[in-house]
């Protein structure tokens, strides 16, 4: 049962990644691309880590996975902010 | 079914590696090339994980893609964005080059397949397993790096040192970056301590799990890179005189341990039974500091321009 | 099925040659450095593939090539740092 | 446990670290480490003379799992030569760099270069050799760029990229060897290699990497600019020692490790490339307008001779006949090491005093700098191969053996190369002894003029007159009476 839930979570997470990647390629301007990428990746990664945490079987591993997700969240928020700010300063919105 | 799936995944990963590698070197747009190269490095880390080399996956992510990427990105600031091809390549020349490359690939591939067929099962893995009990650590890669082939690692520290001394001899650092915005500043404020803790963890855990001096040193250096990106010109490095000692520390301790053992009647770098683990940790700790300072100095690109850090000064400035 | 060491070993050979070709082809230093790094990555992949051979039957793959590649990665980044510093100086000397 | 073999590596490395942390005392660290390294090189040579060969299994692990250092006649002779040249050059360097910062930059890198050379000469492990090659390469590039002129930087960049490609080719070969034979230890490997694809391709890859590094024609293109634009002490070491280190490895691989996998055609090919190098390098040296460029092209030619020795060596019957050629080869390499370093140091003195090294404007040099000019002339004698230099005996033996094995082809090459060498050396001397005020007033400047002279004397007189000892040192069993040059 746990295996099944984990697999569903992971597959959903991968779906978010896929949507995010399509968004990165297809959306018209930088801000919406960033939007697609960060939202999808953070949620996608969250679901994948949740799924793998269920499969991990030990609390310590699950906490490590959670930490990884938090780190990625912070890093992607910061880098998205940097990219957006850089684009704003340069007036390059494409 | 399972084996087929693995093969398909392997083929996919291999194809992506080749594709990204090709794209990174084929593009005329250097910025793009560097970005693709960093992605290539991360994919390579995945390949190391797939081939059950977690020590390498860590090192690749931290050093191969991470620090090399940071160095390349910093270099992009000074380079023109597009490059011209080398001396005008004639069509015939290009075809000759292509033909020779294919020929080389075929010959090396043939030799590799022959060699793989010949060598199965008679390499050094067995010898490492037999002697790991006496090595003082239980992570086999650390055992090879710091005990069985410690001499390689000693010289490798010298390689890093020579590269950094070469960088330092070329003149002062490039100018630093402006002040960071609130988001980056905030990130740096809590990421830097975290990286320092992580480095300590990697160093400690290297004895029995993936990690060790190189990964730890690279993690510390990453903290320095972040600091510099955040507007700290000297990237948290101490004054030049202290930095020189830190640069030398890894080799001094390594040689010191090795030669003292020789003086005590053991062989050079022949750890006495029971002391191996402790001595390896001492060597690795010093090496971590040296590697971190070396990589950070290489990123900064020389002694900082700001005031008191010229080689001859002994006074440390502070931030 | 095709063993992983063969797939990745041949990929390594491919990366080695395409990096080599690109190094000879490119004019700008930065592009050459990228190419040399790709070339080196190919060699490292060969080593790790060799280590992986027969790993299914062992608790861990052969650690010796892993240690060698770790050394190689560090050497590669050192060389990259020196090359980039030389390139920067060269550019400055052109501007002066 | 004999730890002697680690000291030629450890001492320069310690010196380098001391020079790094005490930049103001760097001169002392440099000279001290050089003297100490020479002393232990002497001890190693003495031990080799007693025991024929030495081995140190580092960490006490059996070679294979661990790394072994080894010394025999060949490596001990080169070790002694390189530490002597290094000491003379270091003494010269104490007076060469006037800027304190340059000096502080120079010494640690210089001592790392010596560390790498000694480590390379003593290493018995293929991957360890790769690490020493990279250390040697990076230190050499950093030193070559020390002048920071545009020409030097351009040459250094090219030197670095070419060197890295060479190292990667070498490393690929090492990977194949490990895959096929499961060991990296050269003496273990020697017993296992057979004539088969993996061995051929591995040897081909390693050799091509080393040929790039030893600048064999047509891969010599990077050498002249790198050697000619480096600071004089660096040029001396690069030309006399670093290039030769790569050749030494070719020799080791071909003679000791892969000899069973070789066909005679392979050595012939290297010999032909060597012959081209002799002619082309000598011609370019003859046409060179600057003294240091002349010396650099002369290195291309002299490396060519070393490769011409290979086919003759491998065609000679094992035993006394082959030992004679082998001794001549080592003698040639040693003599060139001393002569070329002397030549570069002499050229450095001229360059510093005159502010240029244009050959056509060297008039008056002999009057202003008699010691240096005499040194240049002595070094020139060794470069041409006139008696009593070691080169004379070596070339004589090479030609005699070539005739013996029926390889007549090399005779005209050697003759033409020597003629051209005579032409370029006497062109320099002709200008130097000519009238003119090209060089400033005469001053006693012993620390800079004497090292070159001493090195030249070793090349011309000591090695020539003591050649018999070189032979008996590198091939212990050889009957001395057999040598009648």
Confidence band for B309, pLDDT divided at 50, 70 and 90: very low
Q: Does the beta carbon of B191 lie under 8 angstroms from any beta carbon of chain A?
A: yes
Asked if A75's CB is within 8 angstroms of B184's CB, the reply is no
- Give me A26's structure tokens: 């297809």
Q: Does the beta carbon of B81 lie under 8 angstroms from any beta carbon of chain C?
A: no
Contact D58, D68 (CB under 8 A): yes
Report the alpha-carbon distance of residue B83 to residue B71 in Å, rounded.
Answer: 18
Confidence band for D373, pLDDT divided at 50, 70 and 90: very high
Residue of B nearest to D24 (CA): B312
In this model, does residue D152 exceed pLDDT 90?
A: yes
Mean pLDDT over the full length of chain D: 92
Determine the pLDDT at residue B121. 66
Report the alpha-carbon distance of residue B22 to residue B43 in Å, rounded.
Answer: 13
- CB < 8 Å to B302, chain C: 85
The string of DSSP codes covering C8-62 is: HHHHHHHHHHHHHHHHHHB-SHHHHHHHHHHHHHHHHHHHHHHHHTTGGGSSS--
Asked if D154's CB is within 8 angstroms of C90's CB, the reply is yes
Structure confidence by residue, pLDDT tens digits, C45-68: 999 999 999 777 777 899 999 999
Structure confidence by residue, pLDDT tens digits, B188-200: 888 899 999 999 9
Q: State whether ipTM is beyond 0.90.
A: yes
Mean pLDDT of D228-232: 94
Structure confidence by residue, pLDDT tens digits, D103-120: 999 999 999 999 999 999
- CB < 8 Å to C96, chain B: none
Mean pLDDT of D86-103: 91
Residue span of the structural domain in which C63 resides: 4-95
Q: Who wins on pLDDT, B81 or D437?
A: D437
Determine the pLDDT at residue B81. 56
Residue A63's CB is within 10 A of a number of other CB atoms, namely 12
Determine the pLDDT at residue A93. 56
Which subunits sit against D, judged by 3+ Cβ pairs under 8 A? B, C
Q: Distance, in angstroms, between D413 CA and closest chain C CA?
A: 32
Mean pLDDT of D55-74: 94
What's the CA dihedral at D170, D307, D227, B75 to 10 degrees? -20
The residues, ordered by sequence, that sit 6+ positions from D247 with a Cβ below 8 Å of its Cβ are D210, D214, D303, D306, D307, D333
- CB < 8 Å to D127, chain C: 68, 71
Mean pLDDT over the full length of chain B: 88
Q: Does the beta carbon of B124 lie under 8 angstroms from any beta carbon of chain D?
A: yes
In this model, does residue B318 exceed pLDDT 60?
A: no
Q: Is A25 exposed, middle or buried (0-12, 13-18, 19+ CB in 10 A)?
A: exposed
Query: What is chain B's percent helix, strand, coil content, to nearest 5?
Result: 70, 0, 25
How many domains, in total, are found in chain A? 1
Confidence band for B233, pLDDT divided at 50, 70 and 90: confident
In this model, does residue B88 exceed pLDDT 80?
A: no
Instruction: State the number of CA atoms in the 13 A half-sphere of B143 facing the CB.
Output: 23
Residue in this structure with the two tokens 């005996």, named with its chain if needed: D393
Residue A82's CB is within 10 A of a number of other CB atoms, namely 16
Identify the CA nearest to D255 among candidates D308, D181, D186, D198.
D186
Q: Distance, in angstroms, between A61 CA and closest chain B CA?
A: 15
Q: Sort residue D319 into left (φ over 0), alpha (ψ -120 to 50) or beta.
A: left
- Look at the alpha carbons of B239, B245, B247, B249 in this order and tell me if their dihedral is positive or negative: negative
Residue in this structure with the two tokens 């250390």, named with its chain if needed: D135
Please name the residue ranges forming H helices in D123-261.
126-144, 150-181, 186-190, 197-213, 223-229, 232-237, 243-252
Report the alpha-carbon distance of residue D291 to residue D422 in Å, rounded.
Answer: 15
What Rg value do the Cα atoms of chain C yield, rounded?
Answer: 17
Q: Who wins on pLDDT, D472 or D439?
A: D472
Confidence band for D439, pLDDT divided at 50, 70 and 90: low
Structure confidence by residue, pLDDT tens digits, D1-57: 479 999 999 999 999 999 999 999 999 999 999 999 999 999 999 999 998 889 999
Q: Distance, in angstroms, between A62 CA and closest chain B CA?
A: 18
Determine the pLDDT at residue B2. 82
- Give me C17's structure tokens: 């040659």
How many domains, in total, are found in chain C? 1
Mean pLDDT over the full length of chain A: 85
Asked if B128's CB is within 8 angstroms of D65's CB, the reply is yes
Substitution target in C38, C75, C83 with the highest count of B β-carbons within 10 Å is C38
* DSSP letter assigned to residue D52: S
Report the alpha-carbon distance of residue D259 to residue D242 in Å, rounded.
Answer: 24
Confidence band for B314, pLDDT divided at 50, 70 and 90: very low
Substitution target in B38, B49, B183 with the highest count of A β-carbons within 10 Å is B183
Asked if A77's CB is within 8 angstroms of B181's CB, the reply is no
Q: Which residues pair with D290 in a beta bridge?
A: D358
Query: What is chain A's percent helix, strand, coil content, to nearest 5?
Result: 90, 0, 10
Determine the pLDDT at residue B176. 77
- CB < 8 Å to A77, chain B: 183, 187
Residue of B nearest to D26 (CA): B312
Distance set, CA B146 to CA A32, B109, B156, B210 (Å): 50, 32, 12, 14
Phi, psi (degrees; rounded to nearest 5) at D358:
-70, 125
Contact B86, C26 (CB under 8 A): yes
In this model, does residue B161 exceed pLDDT 70?
A: yes
Q: Distance, in angstroms, between C12 CA and closest chain B CA?
A: 9
- CB < 8 Å to C17, chain B: 101-102, 104-105, 108
CA B9 centroid distance within chain: 27
Confidence band for D91, pLDDT divided at 50, 70 and 90: very high
Q: Who wins on pLDDT, B158 or A82?
A: B158
Residues in chain C with pLDDT values less than 50: none
Report the alpha-carbon distance of residue B71 to residue B55 in Å, rounded.
Answer: 22
Structure confidence by residue, pLDDT tens digits, D261-282: 887 788 999 999 999 999 999 9
Confidence band for B313, pLDDT divided at 50, 70 and 90: very low
Chains C and A touch (3+ CB pairs under 8 A): no
Determine the pLDDT at residue B183. 79
In this model, does residue D363 exceed pLDDT 60?
A: yes
- CB < 8 Å to B124, chain D: 64-65, 182-183
Q: Do the bridges between strand D68-71 and strand D54-57 make them parallel or antiparallel, or are there none, so unpaired?
A: antiparallel
The fraction of chain B above a pLDDT of 90, given in percent, is 64
Distance set, CA D105 to CA B169, B211, D49, D109 (Å): 6, 33, 38, 7
Distance set, CA D246 to CA B223, B314, C69, D216, D250 (Å): 39, 40, 22, 10, 7
Determine the pLDDT at residue D443. 58
Asked if B56's CB is within 8 angstroms of C73's CB, the reply is yes
- Among A37-41, B267-271, D309-313, the least confident range: A37-41
Determine the pLDDT at residue B312. 38
Mean pLDDT of B99-117: 95
Report the alpha-carbon distance of residue A52 to residue D224 in Å, rounded.
Answer: 59
**Residue C26: CATH number of its domain:** 1.10.287.3510
The residues, ordered by sequence, that sit 6+ positions from B8 with a Cβ below 8 Å of its Cβ are none
Structure confidence by residue, pLDDT tens digits, D298-307: 999 999 999 9
In this model, does residue D484 exceed pLDDT 60?
A: no
């Amino acid at each position: 049962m746990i295996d099944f839930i984990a697999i569903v979570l992971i597959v959903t997470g991968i779906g978010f990644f896929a949507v995010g990647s399509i968004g990165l390629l297809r959306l018209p301007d930088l801000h919406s691309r960033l939007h697609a990428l960060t939202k999808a990746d953070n949620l996608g990664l969250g679901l994948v880590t949740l799924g793998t945490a269920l499969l991990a079987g030990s609390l310590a591993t699950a906490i490590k996975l959670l930490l990884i997700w938090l780190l990625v969240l912070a890093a992607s928020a910061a880098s998205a902010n940097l990219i957006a700010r850089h684009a704003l300063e340069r007036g390059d919105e494409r | 079914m399972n084996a087929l799936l693995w093969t398909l995944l392997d083929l996919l990963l291999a194809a992506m590696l080749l594709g990204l590698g090709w794209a990174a070197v084929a593009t005329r747009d250097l910025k793009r090339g560097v970005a693709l190269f960093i992605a290539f490095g991360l994919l390579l880390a995945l390949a190391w994980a797939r081939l059950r080399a977690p020590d390498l996956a860590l090192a690749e992510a931290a050093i191969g893609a991470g620090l090399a990427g940071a160095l390349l990105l910093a270099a992009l600031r000074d380079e023109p964005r597009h490059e011209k091809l080398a001396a005008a390549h004639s069509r015939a020349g290009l075809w000759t080059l292509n033909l020779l490359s294919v020929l080389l690939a075929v010959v090396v591939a043939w030799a590799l397949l022959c060699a793989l067929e010949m060598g199965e099962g008679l390499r050094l893995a067995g010898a490492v397993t037999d002697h790991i009990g006496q090595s003082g650590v239980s992570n086999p890669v650390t055992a090879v790096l710091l005990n069985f082939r410690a001499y390689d690692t000693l010289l490798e520290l010298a390689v890093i040192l020579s590269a950094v001394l070469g960088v330092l001899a070329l003149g002062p650092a490039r100018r630093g970056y402006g002040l960071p915005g609130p988001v980056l500043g905030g990130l740096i404020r809590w990421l830097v301590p975290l990286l320092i803790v992580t480095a300590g963890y990697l160093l400690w855990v290297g004895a029995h799990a993936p990690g060790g001096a190189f990964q730890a040193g690279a993690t510390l250096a990453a903290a320095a890179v972040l600091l510099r990106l955040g507007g700290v010109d000297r990237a948290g490095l101490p004054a030049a005189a202290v930095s020189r000692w830190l640069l030398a520390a890894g080799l001094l301790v390594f040689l010191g341990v090795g030669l003292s053992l020789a003086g005590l009647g053991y062989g050079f770098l022949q750890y006495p039974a029971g002391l191996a683990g402790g001595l390896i940790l001492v060597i690795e700790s010093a090496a971590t500091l040296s590697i971190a300072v070396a990589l950070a100095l290489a990123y900064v690109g020389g002694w900082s321009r700001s005031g008191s850090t010229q080689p001859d000064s002994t006074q440390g400035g502070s931030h | 099925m095709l063993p992983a060491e063969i797939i990745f070993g041949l990929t390594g050979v491919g990366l080695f040659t395409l990096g080599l070709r690109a190094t000879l082809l490119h004019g700008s230093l930065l592009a050459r450095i990228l190419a040399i790094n790709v070339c080196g990555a190919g060699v490292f992949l060969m080593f790790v593939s060799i280590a992986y051979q027969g790993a299914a039957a062992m608790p861990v793959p052969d650690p010796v090539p892993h240690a060698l590649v770790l050394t190689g990665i560090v050497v590669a980044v050192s060389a990259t740092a020196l090359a980039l510093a030389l390139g920067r100086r060269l550019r400055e000397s052109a501007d002066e | 446990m004999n730890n002697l073999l680690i000291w030629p590596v450890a001492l320069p490395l310690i010196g380098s670290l001391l020079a790094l942390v005490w930049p103001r005392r760097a001169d002392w660290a440099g000279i001290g480490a050089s003297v100490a390294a020479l002393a232990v090189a002497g001890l190693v040579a003495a031990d080799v003379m007693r025991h024929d060969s030495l081995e140190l299994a580092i960490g006490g692990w059996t070679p294979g799992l661990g790394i072994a250092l080894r010394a025999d006649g060949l490596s001990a002779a080169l070790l002694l030569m390189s530490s002597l040249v290094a000491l003379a050059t270091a003494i010269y360097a104490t007076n060469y760099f006037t800027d304190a910062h340059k000096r502080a930059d120079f010494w640690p890198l210089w001592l790392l270069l010596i560390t790498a050379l000694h480590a390379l000469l003593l290493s018995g492990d293929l991957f360890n050799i790769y690490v020493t090659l990279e250390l040697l390469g990076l230190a050499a590039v950093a030193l070559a760029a020390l002048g920071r002129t545009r020409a030097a930087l351009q040459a250094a960049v090219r030197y670095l990229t070419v060197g890295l490609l060479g190292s990667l080719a070498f490393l690929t070969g090492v990977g194949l060897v490990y895959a096929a034979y499961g060991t990296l230890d050269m003496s273990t490997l020697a017993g296992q290699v057979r004539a088969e694809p993996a061995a051929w391709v591995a040897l081909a890859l390693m050799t091509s990497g080393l040929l790039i590094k030893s600048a064999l024609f047509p891969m010599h293109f990077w050498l002249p600019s790198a050697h000619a634009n480096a600071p004089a002490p660096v040029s001396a070491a690069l030309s006399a020692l670093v290039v030769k280190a790569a050749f030494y490895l070719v020799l080791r691989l071909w003679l000791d490790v892969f000899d069973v996998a070789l066909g005679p055609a392979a050595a012939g090919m290297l010999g032909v490339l060597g012959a081209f190098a002799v002619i082309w390098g000598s011609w370019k040296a003859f046409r060179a307008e600057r003294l240091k460029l002349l010396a650099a092209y002369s290195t291309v030619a002299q490396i060519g001779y070393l490769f011409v020795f290979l086919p003759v060596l491998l065609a000679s019957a094992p035993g006394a006949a082959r030992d004679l050629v082998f001794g001549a080869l080592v003698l040639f390499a040693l003599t060139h090491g001393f002569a070329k370093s002397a030549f570069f140091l002499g050229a450095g003195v001229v360059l510093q005093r005159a502010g240029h090294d244009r050959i056509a404007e060297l008039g008056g040099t002999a009057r202003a700098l008699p010691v240096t000019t005499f040194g240049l002339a002595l070094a020139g004698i060794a470069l041409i191969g006139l008696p009593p230099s070691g080169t004379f005996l070596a070339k004589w033996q090479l030609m005699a053996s070539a005739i013996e094995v029926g390889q007549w082809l090399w005779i005209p090459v050697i003759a033409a190369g020597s003629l051209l060498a005579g032409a370029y050396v006497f062109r320099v001397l002709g200008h130097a002894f000519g009238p003119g005020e090209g060089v400033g007033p005469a001053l006693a400047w012993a620390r800079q003029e004497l090292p070159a002279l001493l090195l030249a004397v070793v090349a011309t007189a000591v090695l020539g007159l003591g050649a018999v000892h070189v032979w008996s040192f590198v091939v212990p069993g050889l009957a001395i009476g057999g040598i009648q040059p």
